[in-house]
Amino acid sequence: MRQKLNNLYRSLLARPDSGRYEHVGELVAGLLKMETTAVEYVMEKAWPSVRFLVRQAQLPENRARDMLHDALVILVKKIRDNVYNPDESAPATYLIAIARNLIANQLRHKRNTPTIALDDIPDISDDHTQAFLEGRERRELLESLLRKLGEPCARLIRLKYIDGYRDEEIIAQNMTHYNTSMALRTKRSKCFQKLIELATATKPADNTINTNAGHPQDQINEMP
Amino acid sequence: MNHDIEAYLDGALAPDALAAFEAELARNPALREAVAAARRVRDDLDWLSVERGVEAGEQAFWDRQSARHNRMRVLAFGLVLILLAGLVWLRQKPAPALPPNRQLHPGQPHTPDSLATPPPPNTSSPLPALKQARDNSRGNRLFATYFKPYKDATLEPSLRGGAAASPEEKFQQHYWDNQYSDALAQFDMLPAMAQTNDNLLFIKAECLLAVGKADEAAPILELILKNDRTRYMDAAAWHLALARLKLGDTAQARLQFQQIRQSAASPWQTDAATILKRIE
């Protein structure tokens, strides 16, 4: 009954331009490119079920939003890493399955764990979910290290690795003051190495640089 | 070599450079560790890239959700306003008036006093519409319980042997035989003079009440009572009171029943007292 009402709700209030994403291939391609409309579409589809699962799990209502965000990030990463198979389940269904795994993970530490279940939601591999959860602190650290890295290094790394620009685009659009790809790559390579040294020398838990480690380059070289 | 790590992980090394790098990688554990660390950082950056990349879509979704909730709130507010306006309107609306039937007697002067719109229902109640609906329902029930078309010996038709029945006699015959719709059709065929006869008008009013047209019967009964020219005055008063009750005009009906209760000559004195107890 609840599902029927949700379907009715969605059919009455769905985005008028969402038709193209009814084709799974289009939706997956849109998610791969992280198109706003594709993200919006898949969230629209999954949100009622994710909220329902969070309620079923007796978690605070505001956690539903975080769960949807985390599940969405994992789904897109799986698409990027080419481990998501759209033939097995549609992106929205898969997204709900990821959210269920995340909720189950949250409940692992609770006593009297409530049962969370939803019809037609498949069991999925947990690798990316675990990687996402385990890497959370590391990513927070990485962001703070990028800030510590300063300009222009942080910008060079962001442009390539976070914003996804190709070197040719960076040069053509004058995003930095480097005029050639070679100069750009050489500088970024040094910056990247510096970032790795900082990351290696810093513990994720306390987010401080290990000052006893000597020069970061030395530390890397000393590793077995 | 730093540059080579990035190019190696990008898959951008030329074949000979790749071969040299892999040879070095096999020899140098520090380089292997550096490559592994670079892979971890790149993967973490990739996760960050996804988190940043979906932000715009997420924001659009939440904005849309928020706009939808706002629309729902506005809609709900609008509905509440409409409901309140409806309640105010119902509160101000007068009770259903008895429709004036001024075409009944073309030869007679208008009688505005007798056909005056009754006063509005008591508006002191917080929900006058509900009260009105309750009154109507109760009025209908009491009407159904107490109304019976009046018939006595004087109304029994006395057809003359062999002679054709006059329109008046046919009218009376239909009434006597409980054929009220036929009687009403016959009344329209009566001569104009006959249609102003209060006795015949009384029968017409009885027919109207019998077919559920209390709104048309009430003005006729009021006229008859005002004219005071018929022998059916008590019955007319009793049935006018019942008609008003059926029409939801409880205040006027109550006054009429009180008069009947005080009238020792009325055969419905006891019934009027009973109804008054029930409506009060």
- Please judge whether A69 and B49 are an interchain contact, meaning their C-beta atoms are less than 8 angstroms apart: no
- The 10s digit of each residue's pLDDT in B120-140 is 544 444 556 666 777 777 788
What percentage of chain B has pLDDT greater than the value 90? 15
Most confident of A53-67, B47-61, B200-214: B200-214
Domain tally, chain B: 2
Query: Would residue B167 count as lying in a domain?
Result: yes
CB A95 within 8 A of CB A67: no
Query: Is the domain of A120 the same as that of A167?
Result: no
Residue A71 banded pLDDT, cuts 50, 70, 90: very high
**Which of A134, A156, A189 is at the close of a domain?**
A134
CATH at residue B229: 1.25.40.10
- B49, B139: one domain: no
Interface test with chain A among B5, B8, B50, by most A beta carbons within 10 Å: B50
**B270 in the same domain as B136:** yes
Together in a domain, A120 and A54? yes
Q: Where is the domain boundary, A83, A105, A134? A: A134
A165-193: pLDDT as tens digits: 888 888 888 888 888 888 888 888 888 88
- The answer to whether the CB atoms of B50 and A76 lie below 8 A apart is yes
Range of the domain at A22: 2-134
Peptide bond into A60 cis (omega under 30): no
- For residue B38, the distance in angstroms to the closest alpha carbon of chain A comes to 6
What pLDDT is recorded for position B94?
Answer: 62
Using a CB-CB cut-off of 8 Å, the residues of chain B touching A83 are none
Partner-chain contact B45 A37, CB within 8 Å: no
- Write out pLDDT tens, residues B45-84: 999 889 888 888 888 888 888 888 888 888 899 999 999 9
Domain end residue (candidates: A104, A134, A164): A134
Contact yes or no for A44 and B54 at CB 8 A: no
Q: Which long-range contacts (CB under 8 A, 24 or more apart) does B209-216 make?
A: B209/B147, B209/B149, B209/B239, B209/B242, B209/B243, B210/B147, B210/B149, B210/B178, B210/B180, B211/B180, B211/B181, B211/B184, B214/B143, B214/B243, B214/B246, B214/B247, B215/B96, B215/B98, B215/B99, B215/B247, B216/B99, B216/B101
pLDDT of residue A69: 92
The pTM assigned to this predicted structure is 0.53
What is the count of structural domains for chain A? 2
CB A47 within 8 A of CB A68: yes
Average pLDDT, chain A: 79
Residue B96 is assigned to a structural domain of this protein: no
Whether residues B135 and B227 share a domain: the answer is: yes
Q: Which of B40, B39, B44 has its CA nearest to residue B5?
A: B39
Residues A168 and A203 in one domain: yes
Q: What's the CA gap between A203 and B85, in Å, rounded?
A: 66
* pLDDT confidence of residue A107: 82
> Are B215 and B244 in contact, with CB atoms under 8 Å apart?
no
Kindly state whether residue B34 falls inside one of the protein's structural domains. Answer: yes
Task: Identify whether residues A120 and A155 lie together within a single domain.
Answer: no
Q: Determine, yes or no, domain membership for B80.
A: no
Per-residue pLDDT, B82? 92
Least confident of A157-166, A176-185, A208-217: A208-217
CA distance A28 to chain B (A): 13
Which residues constitute the domain of residue B32? 2-53
Min Cα separation B65/chain A (Å):
9
pLDDT above 60 (res B102): no
Residue B64 lies in a domain: no
**What is the gyration radius of the CA atoms in chain A, in angstroms?**
21
Q: Is residue B85 part of a domain?
A: no
- CB-CB under 8 Å, B47 with A162: no
Q: Which amino acid is at A65?
A: R
Q: Which of A11, A13, A21, A34 to mutate to test the interface with B (most CBs of B within 10 A)?
A: A34
**Mean pLDDT, to the nearest integer, of A101-128?**
72
Integer angstrom CA distances of residue A76 from A19, A54, A69, A205, B250: 20, 21, 11, 27, 72
Q: What's the whole-number mean pLDDT along residues B1-22?
A: 82
Q: Does B88 reside within a domain?
A: no
* A26 and A106 both lie in a single domain: yes
Looking at A152-161, A196-205, B121-130, B193-202, which range is the least confident one? B121-130
Residue B237 lies in a domain: yes
Cβ contacts of B50 on chain A, cutoff 8 Å: 34, 73, 76-77, 80
Measured between CB atoms, does B51 come within 8 Å of chain A? yes
- Confirm or reject contact between B9 and chain A (CB < 8 A): no
Query: Are the beta carbons of B6 and A185 separated by less than 8 Å?
Result: yes
For residue A142, give the nearest of B48, B57, B60 by CB distance. B48
Task: Look at residue A72 and tell me whether its pLDDT is greater than 90.
Answer: yes
Q: What angle do CA B40, B42, B47 make, to 5 degrees?
A: 95
> Looking at this predicted complex, what is its ipTM?
0.77
Of the three residues B53, B68, B85, the one that is the final residue of a domain is B53
- Contact between A189 and B2 using a beta-carbon 8 Å cutoff: yes
CA distances for B257 relative to A31, B139, B149, B212, angstroms: 80, 13, 18, 20
Contact A74, A135 (CB under 8 A): no
Q: Are residues B135 and B49 in the same domain?
A: no
Give B13's contacts in chain A (Cβ within 8 Å): none
The answer to whether A45 and A10 have CB atoms below 8 angstroms apart is: yes
| B132 and B224 together in one domain | yes
Look at A195-204, B187-196, B271-280 and tell me which has the smallest mean pLDDT.
A195-204
